[in-house]
Amino acid sequence: MTESSLLTRLRAARASLPSLVALSAEARNGAVLAMASALRNNADALVEANAHDLAVGVAGGLSPALLDRLRLDATRIESLACSLATVAALPDPLADSAVPARHRNGLKLRQKPVPLGVVAMIYESRPNVTAEAAALCFKAGNACVLRGGREARQSNLAIAQLLEQALHACGITTDCVQVLDDPDRSQQAELLTRDDLVDVIIPRGGEALIRHVVANSRIPVIRHYKGVCHLFVDGAADLGMAQRLLIDGKASRPGVCNALECLLVHRDIALTWLPSAAAALMARGVELRGCAAARASVPSIAEASDEDWGYEFLAPVLAIRVVDDLDAALAHIRRYGSNHTEVICSTDATACARFVNEVDASAVVVNASSRFNDGGELGLGAEIGISTSKLHAYGPMGLASLTTRKWVIEGEGQVRHALE
């Protein structure tokens, strides 16, 4: 019986781990820079491979939004190369901790950062994920197994070839980056069961994809279901500030996970503030759907259906609910929030403190935009994903989230029970 091609690849990825741990930070950074150069120097070939995918996508009726995510052009390839150079410049996540070793029983105890091992990613259309994920995983000493979207097949294979070329030129085994060619998803089901060979799966894409992976995987999954982010504007708020946070949160980039999907307005300001806020959003093309009280203040707001609460529009649409008080806002967020990002705009320090303590989200934001919940903005550098569940990571995941820590216990012969 011959081994499946997936199994051969997973074993090769796993077997490459000892050689990765032996690499210096300089060697790892050098290889990431070589990956950046390979992409930059072969932009024409990438654009050509991408053109194939775009043609297939157009023929298959992909939406303009999906085609846009799929597209690689000279500018985007340059930006991808720069993003890899940024990864190379980030601090080494495997550097020994600045925390000094502790001593106990004469033993020297420390926790040493180590790679997670083999990281699998399952993702959808954007081909730049292939290069970024490979660079981030590699820099943290991990092997990776990348299963991109079928619609980006030729682009991903072209990127894989360039990454392989870069690793080879640096004298590093190319086994550590495995880009799967799995157009019919036949390998994915097997992948999800191989917890003997894969340490973690990071799915990126729509909620359906992530739920499928969670339901079928024996491998630990880092989850990012969705971003249903709320802005609560308190009765005591700087209303000019509230409007700026609202416009930035909803209108600056509606398709991202840290954009606002719902505005909660304290009833004390529903009549005084909501009309101007609604007008500013509508002037920017945002469709508004509100509760009865919101519509009483601004009749041009459409009626919200039950499905609009807790819905991730990822589009210029905003749900608006008028709430009686902070408690009602907290209850709404508890019921409909997605543990991603929640914002309060208030000048009342007690209300802000309660919001910070009581809201369960990867980021709780006081008097600032929801859009700051982002690895780059929080100083983590490039991110591999955002976790909305609490195990291992909660929120944006930078390089450190691609490592764990093992205990190193150094002694001079200590035992727990002296010999009888």
Q: Establish if 388 lies at the interface with its own copies (CB under 8 A).
A: no
DSSP 58-83: HHTT--HHHHHHH---HHHHHHHHHH
User: To 5 degrees, how large is the angle CA 381–CA 387–CA 392?
Assistant: 90
Residue 204 near residue 312, CB atoms below 8 Å: no
Q: Give the tokens for residue 175.
A: 């086994």
Q: Establish if 349 lies at the interface with its own copies (CB under 8 A).
A: no
Total interface residues for its own copies by CB under 8 A: 74
- Of 309, 276, 314, the residue nearest 291 (C-alpha): 309
Measured from the CB atom, the residue of 108 and 150 that comes closer to its own copies is 108
To its own copies, the closest distance from the beta carbon of 367 in angstroms equals 5
Which range in 36-44, 170-178, 270-278, 368-376 contacts its own copies by CB under 8 A?
Answer: 368-376
Which range in 2-10, 28-36, 164-172, 400-408 contacts its own copies by CB under 8 A?
Answer: 400-408
State which of residues 21, 55, 279, 315 lies at the interface with its own copies (CB under 8 A).
21
Q: How far is CA 166 from CA 36, 40, 65, 141, in A?
A: 9, 12, 32, 16
State which of residues 1, 104, 208, 285 lies at the interface with its own copies (CB under 8 A).
104
Q: Establish if 200 lies at the interface with its own copies (CB under 8 A).
A: yes
Measured from the CB atom, the residue of 105 and 186 that comes closer to its own copies is 105
Q: Establish if 367 lies at the interface with its own copies (CB under 8 A).
A: yes
* Residue list 133-152, contact with its own copies (CB under 8 A): none
- Interacting residues of 37 by C-beta distance below 8 A, sequence separation 6+: 81, 166
* Residue list 28-87, contact with its own copies (CB under 8 A): none
Measured from the CB atom, the residue of 29 and 339 that comes closer to its own copies is 339
Q: Establish if 155 lies at the interface with its own copies (CB under 8 A).
A: no
Q: Establish if 23 lies at the interface with its own copies (CB under 8 A).
A: no
Beta-bridged to residue 111, according to DSSP, are 407
* Residue list 117-136, contact with its own copies (CB under 8 A): 117
The single-letter DSSP state of residue 107 is: E
To its own copies, the closest distance from the beta carbon of 284 in angstroms equals 8
Residue 131 near residue 144, CB atoms below 8 Å: no
The whole-angstrom separation of Cα 80 and Cα 72 is 10
To its own copies, the closest distance from the beta carbon of 272 in angstroms equals 19
To its own copies, the closest distance from the beta carbon of 138 in angstroms equals 17
State which of residues 44, 190, 207, 410 lies at the interface with its own copies (CB under 8 A).
410
- Interacting residues of 227 by C-beta distance below 8 A, sequence separation 6+: 256, 257, 258, 259, 261, 312, 338, 340, 341, 386, 388
* Residue list 259-318, contact with its own copies (CB under 8 A): none
To its own copies, the closest distance from the beta carbon of 303 in angstroms equals 28
Residue 406 near residue 400, CB atoms below 8 Å: no
- Which residue blocks in 224-302 are alpha helix, DSSP H? 239-251, 274-283, 292-297
Q: Establish if 185 lies at the interface with its own copies (CB under 8 A).
A: no
To its own copies, the closest distance from the beta carbon of 114 in angstroms equals 7
Which range in 60-68, 214-222, 265-273, 314-322 contacts its own copies by CB under 8 A?
Answer: 214-222
